[in-house]
Structure 1
Amino acid sequence: MKNRRMFWHIVEKIEAQIDAGRYPPGSRLPPERELAENFDVSRPTIREAIIALEVRGRVEVKVSSGVYVLDNQPQQSEVQRISAFELTQARALVEGEAAALAALSITDEELNSLNDTLIAMENDDEPEKADREFHSIIAKATRNNALLLSIQHYWKLRESQPQIISSYKSVCGTSSQYRLEEHKRIFMALKSRDSQSARTAMHGHFNRLINALFEASEAKALEEIKKKSSETRDRYSITHLVG
């Protein structure tokens, strides 16, 4: 599969089954293992599909209970209108304050866990997973469940919406050193229990990311303009007529 990740095919199939009445509102979807066998895919692929379905408002995941079909239509049009720029700005605002709050309550154990994620990033050991864990630890360290849920929802959007996935992929793979340095600054501010420095460091991280997204977007637009110009030039060229 070249253009779409496998889990989107699973999302469409499960949605079709929900719409057809196979899984009515309030019913529970089959266990992850059974879904994986039914669709002949891996269990991680099923997990990604469930996350996407949850973001779309089709299902609700209840811990230690299962995945339940919701009695409402998906609000996909609203989700699709969220751009990578909007998501990053929202994350900067919320996670900046989360960092400031976490600086006041973070434990030594949580700081050690944060340091482990930095080591993983530096060693290029599943850096994307380490990145998410870094931000998750900070969110939990706020001791504020509303903030935690908000940040978790932003990560679900980042990992389930094709346009956002594409935008982030265009910049994250080429800026690992910047990301590491920024995360280290956030870590040092938290270790110092300095709320203002933690907020500033988190804002700096997202500000660089937003600028990188703009640069990637501009480069893509310029490339498209050049391609269109070249096609137009070829269409109207009389070179082949001049001998």
Structure 2
Amino acid sequence: MKAQRLYKSVADSLLAVIDSGQFKVGDRLPAERDLAAQYKVSRPTMREAVIALEIAGRVEVRKGSGVYVIEQEHSGVKSLDLDVGPFELTEARMLIEGEAAGLAATLISEDEIAELETIIEKMKRENESDDGEELADKAFHMLIARATRNGAIETIIEDLWTLRDRSELTQTMYETVRMVGVKPSIDEHIAIFEALKAKDPIKARAAMRTHLSRVIDTMFEATEIEAFEAVKRRVSEDRKRFKLLLKTG
């Protein structure tokens, strides 16, 4: 399997197994951990592959239960190549934006520091809104890219954000994260801001890497949180129903 679009290679292989009839409509696929071991990939990559199959209308992820093969509703075959996956993309951002933050710490101006502080306030207001916009988050990261005084670095980071916004797979993952109430961390952005303000490249690099590493963790945890919350809701409903039966029995 090629490193590039690894999730697609896995999704294609899994789809071939489904189309062969090994898994029929209504069948539950093996657990994510087992599939990841079978295809010799990480669980994040397997999760990207499953999301790609879900977007294509070939499987359904039933929270708290598993992944099930479903009847293909649309005619024709939808491509499983949905641009770069969210985990791979964020890993690239962590490496590149980490170094950019370190460089920016040595070159950033006082006016840009003040602008970053204003952006953080906008980020706080966006987090209080339910419209899902994260414009301040992007503005924060792009200002740091600009502060490197390196046009190539700025272009690369802007391209990574364009990929983030264009990729259906990545947007689906971010929407999942937002659905469970996870929003850009103000504290993590403040830590980056404080390191830049102190003109400390080591701390700025570390703070950025910590932030984007946590984004990866959050994306992975969010899907598991959904499953856990679904189980909790179902258990709660069962308890209520059981209590009602006791009262009426």
**TM surpasses 0.5:** yes
Offset of residue 114 of structure 1 = 0.5
Question: Which residue, 166, 169, 175 being the options, matches 2:172?
Answer: 166
Amino acid at match of 1:169: E
Distance verdict in 2 for CA 1:123–1:219, change over 3 Å: closer
2:140 is aligned, of 134, 158, 174, to: 134
**TM-score of the aligned structures, taking structure 2 as reference length:** 0.54
The yes-or-no answer on 1:202 pairing with 2:202 is no
The amino acid of 1:134's aligned partner reads: F
**Match of 1:102, as an amino acid?**
A
CA distance 1:128–1:113, change in 2 (3 Å)? same
Q: Runs of 5+ in structure 2 lacking a partner? A: 1-78, 231-249
Question: C-alpha distance in 2, partners of 1:98/1:221?
Answer: 36
Corresponding residue for 1:104? 106
CA distance in 2, matches of 1:175, 1:218: 13
Report the CA distance shift for 1:78/1:100 in structure 2 as closer, same or farther (over 3 A).
Answer: farther
Alignment partner for residue 86 of structure 1, among 62, 82, 88? Answer: 88
Q: Which has the higher contact order (CA 8 A, sep 6+)?
A: 2
* Structure 1 residues 200 and 149, CA gap change in structure 2 (3 angstroms): same
Deviation at 1:172, TM superposition (A): 4.6
CA RMSD of superposed structures (Å): 2.8
| 1:155 match | 161
Q: Which residue, 182, 190, 199 being the options, matches 1:175? A: 182
User: Among residues 183, 186, 192, which one is paired with 1:186 in the alignment?
Assistant: 192
CA shift at 1:218, angstroms? 3.8
Q: For 1:100 and 1:78, how far apart are their aligned partners in 2?
A: 37
Deviations 1:43-91 (A, max 9, x none): xxxxxxxxxxxxxxxxxxxxxxxxxxxxxxxxxx897352100000000
Match of 1:216 among 218, 222, 225: 222
- Distance change in 2, residues 1:172/1:115 (3 Å): farther
Aligned residues: 150
Equivalent-residue separation in structure 2 for 1:78 and 1:98 (angstroms): 32
Once residues 223 and 188 of structure 1 are traced to their aligned partners in structure 2, the CA distance between those partners, rounded to angstroms, is 35
Q: Which residue of 1 aligns with 2:116?
A: 114
Matched residue, 1:41: none
What per-residue deviation string (whole Å, max 9, x for no partner) do you get for residues 89-109 of structure 1? 000000000000000000011
Name the counterpart of 1:68. Answer: none
Q: How many Å separate the matches in 2 of 1:79 and 1:143?
A: 35
Q: Distance in 2 between matches of 1:141 and 1:114?
A: 11
Residues in 2 aligned to 1:142 and 1:172: alpha-carbon distance in whole angstroms: 30
Measured in 2, the distance between the counterparts of 1:155 and 1:82 equals 11
Distance (whole Å) between structure 2 residues aligned to residue 180 and residue 79 of structure 1? 33
Identity rate, percent: 40
Counterpart residue identity of residue 103, structure 1: A
In the alignment, residue 87 of structure 1 is paired with which amino acid? L
How many Å separate the matches in 1 of 2:171 and 2:197?
31
TM-score for both structures, normalised by structure 1:
0.55
